[in-house]
Amino acid sequence: MAQFIVRRIIQLIPVLLGVSILVFSLMHITPGNPAHIIAGESAPEATVKQIEERLGLNDPLTVQYFRFVKNAVQLKFGNSWRTSLPVEKEIGSRFLVTLELAVYSTIFSVVLGLIAGIVSAVRQYSFSDISIMLVALFGLSMPNFWLGLMLMNWFAINLGWLPPSGWGSAKQLIMPVITLGTGGAAVIARMTRSSMLDVISQDYIRTARAKGVRERIVVYRHALKNALIPVVTVIGLQFGGLLSGAVLTESVFAINGMGKLIIDRIMARDFPVVQASILIISVIFVLVNLLVDISYRFLNKRVDLDS
């Protein structure tokens, strides 16, 4: 186990280097001069040149990149070019909001998806199975922003039960969490059903039933535990996707999270904030995948992570 963790941490280095190169390159090839945006359209050229010199934009790209990597390794991301505030302060509160949204949405999708997938697998080809899979297909097909708007129109505008926007109170959590977690729940439900059906057809499940073991124990203790490995993989990917892909949901419900921050700062060419945000999300995504791989060993003792 220890060797596996060390090996994966070492593998993290080239991944993050690749991410840093990609982010750095994309920001610099995007049309628009940050100095012009900061100075304003009517600013004289001399002012623009001074800002470029102050921000180091006149340095060669290689020099700018290695300076960026050096600062990132030291966890020093500098100040925002737009607000002059430390990048850590700019990201801090926004990141906590997005992390909270992603965690709650993942919990919602896991609970709903597992229950739906288990019921669908145990009652294969029944009315319940067909209904659940149709609903899951609908959940996969509909865009998140459309679901968010429909929920807002029904529960906030027509019924007045929930606040239409914001983040913080229990009522403000409900619609964004459902909006962001529904698609994940549909994926988990379909994966759970497929994996459960593969396990239920195994000989040891038939043997347990032949011995008179109660159906609930057969399903939850024997079948579900062995069917969870592919499901856990999907859950890990879903969490990473929720963490980095909540832009539309945050925009619909006016939530000041990381997604909205990244979009706003890309438009403002605020390189330090964008680069730091994407690097943080990338690190968390890789660490979540590491935890998913480690969980395989606890779900199935036959999995050898050190091989």
pLDDT digits (tens, 9 = 90+) for 91-123: 887 888 888 888 999 999 999 999 999 999 888
Question: What are 136-162's pLDDT values in tens digits?
Answer: 988 888 888 888 889 999 998 888 888
% the chain with pLDDT above 70: 93
Mean pLDDT across 278-297: 80
The answer, yes or no, to whether residue 281 has pLDDT greater than 80, is yes
DSSP code of residue 1:
-
pLDDT of residue 245: 63
Phi and psi torsions of 86, nearest 5°? -55, 140
Position 199, amino acid: V
Please, which residues bridge with residue 79 across strands? 86
pLDDT of residue 71: 82
Task: Provide the strand spans (E) within 204-287.
Answer: none
The answer, yes or no, to whether residue 301 has pLDDT greater than 70, is no
DSSP code of residue 86:
B
More confident position, 31 or 284? 284
pLDDT of residue 178: 92
SS3 79: strand
CA-CA distance, 268 to 255, in Å (whole number)?
Answer: 19
Question: Which CATH topology does 96-256 take?
Answer: MetI-like fold (1.10.3720)
Let me know the angle formed at the C-alpha of 275 by 269 and 280, rounded to the nearest 5 degrees.
Answer: 145
Mean pLDDT across 290-302: 71
CA-CA distance, 141 to 165, in Å (whole number)?
Answer: 24
The answer, yes or no, to whether residue 1 has pLDDT greater than 90, is no
pLDDT of residue 290: 79
Question: What are 10-36's pLDDT values in tens digits?
Answer: 877 888 888 888 878 877 777 767 777
DSSP string computed for 112-171? HHHHHHHHHHHTTTSHHHHHHHHHHHHHHHS-HHHHHHHHIIIIIIIS--S-SS-SSSHH
Question: What are 29-86's pLDDT values in tens digits?
Answer: 777 677 777 776 677 778 878 877 877 777 788 888 888 888 888 878 888 877 878 8
CA-CA distance, 272 to 57, in Å (whole number)?
Answer: 12
More confident position, 1 or 258? 258
Are 21 and 28 in contact by the 8 Å Cβ rule? The answer is: no
Are 199 and 223 in contact by the 8 Å Cβ rule? The answer is: yes
pLDDT of residue 188: 92
Are 306 and 4 in contact by the 8 Å Cβ rule? The answer is: yes
pLDDT of residue 169: 83
CA-CA distance, 238 to 202, in Å (whole number)?
Answer: 28
